[in-house]
């Protein structure tokens, strides 16, 4: 599906070449610009095809056409989606637990991607599925999906520059005494595809946590990620002796306590790449976390 972006050339770009405007105003990558050049209507000035080496003048109208097609090998599936925001470029939804973000080997259905592809098809839209902040299967909460490669790249840059902020809430085992920071590198465990461990030769990983409420042998925490490593919160909290409740991989394997790790993406904010407006989304905790808190509160 095509998405057309337009820009009226300002005085500061008068006499500049097209590629300068694309890189500085639109902040487009060289790869995306190369893709745009494949189509006759990919880059146009005042309605006509133009080369990237050509110059522009104040008042000219530069337009680029982003072309997309549906993701291959993702089966559209009628899965209810809790959509909290949508425009031409971005979809923000509240993911339920027990639902992976993408299909995987041996599990081709019941993912966010399957549901989103069905949602697009019903609306007559064609997009590649591009998750901005991927959540684990059993993690619930807010996640953003980009509707085109340009938006996906811009939001990925915001993750690197810390303009895109993510906060989580989780219930951990033990009485956490104070707020704190875990600064411990993470790498994949030898011989494992899934398991991550803290290791001096791993990638930098920093997690900040704040105590929200204490319930005797359990604590509700709010977490903010400075980096985004796989299983970062789960690995870091287990590392300091406070694994997440229900975390079968890094904590106590007791599904009678909780059938999933009690982790929820509760806050997401970023600068919209097109409007420049800051968007903020908040969601407290998932209902099973409320139920768990109600149950343990009776004891204390």
Q: Which residues are catalytic?
A: 136
Phi/psi of residue 114, each to 5°? Answer: -60, -45
Gap between the Cα atoms of 118 and 140, Å rounded:
20
For residue 146, the tally of other CB atoms under 10 A from its CB is 22
Contact, 178 vs 121, CB < 8 A?
no
**CA–CA separation, 189 vs 67, rounded Å?**
39
Tokens of 20: 């300068």
* HEC secondary structure over the chain: CCEEEEEECCHHHCCCEHHHHHHHCCCCCHHHHHHHCCCCCCEEECCEECCCCCECCCCCEEEEEECCCCCCCCCCCCCCCCEEEECCCEEEEEECCCCCCCCECCECCCCHHHHHHHHHHHCCCCCCCEECCCCCCCCEEEEEEECCHHHHHHHHHHHHHCCCEEEEEEEEECCCCCCEEEECCEEECCCCCCCEEECCCCECCEEEEEEEEEECCEEEEEEEECCCCCCHHHHHHHHCCCCECCCCCCCCCCCCCCCCCCEEEEEEEEECCCCCCEEEEECCCCHHHHHHHHHHHCCC
């Amino acid at each position: 599906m095509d998405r057309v972006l337009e820009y009226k050339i300002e005085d500061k770009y008068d006499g500049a070449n097209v590629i300068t405007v694309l890189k500085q105003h639109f902040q487009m990558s060289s790869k995306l610009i190369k893709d745009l050049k494949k189509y006759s209507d990919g880059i146009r000035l005042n309605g006509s095809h133009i080369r990237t080496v050509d110059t522009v003048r104040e008042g000219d109208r530069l337009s680029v056409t982003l072309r997309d097609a549906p993701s291959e090998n993702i089966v559209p599936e009628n899965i209810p989606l809790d959509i909290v925001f949508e425009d031409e470029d971005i979809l923000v939804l509240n993911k339920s637990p027990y639902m992976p973000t993408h299909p995987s080997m041996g599990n081709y259905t019941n993912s966010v991607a399957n549901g989103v592809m069905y949602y697009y098809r019903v609306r007559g839209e064609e997009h590649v599925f591009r998750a901005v902040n991927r959540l684990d299967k059993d993690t619930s909460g807010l996640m953003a999906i980009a509707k085109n490669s340009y938006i996906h790249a811009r939001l990925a840059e915001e993750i690197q520059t810390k303009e895109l902020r993510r906060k989580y809430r989780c219930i951990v085992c033990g009485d956490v005494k104070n707020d704190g920071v875990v600064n411990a590198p993470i790498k994949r465990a030898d011989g494992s595809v899934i398991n991550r461990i803290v290791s001096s030769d791993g990638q930098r990983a920093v997690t900040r946590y704040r105590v929200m409420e204490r319930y005797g042998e359990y604590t509700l925490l709010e977490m903010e990620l400075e980096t985004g490593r796989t299983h970062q919160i789960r690995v870091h909290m287990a590392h300091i002796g406070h694994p997440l409740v229900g975390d079968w991989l890094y904590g106590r394997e007791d599904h009678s306590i909780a059938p999933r790790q009690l982790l929820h993406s509760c806050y997401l904010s970023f600068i919209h790449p097109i409007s420049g407006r800051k968007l903020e989304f908040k969601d407290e905790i998932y209902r099973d976390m409320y139920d768990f808190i109600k149950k343990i509160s009776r004891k204390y």
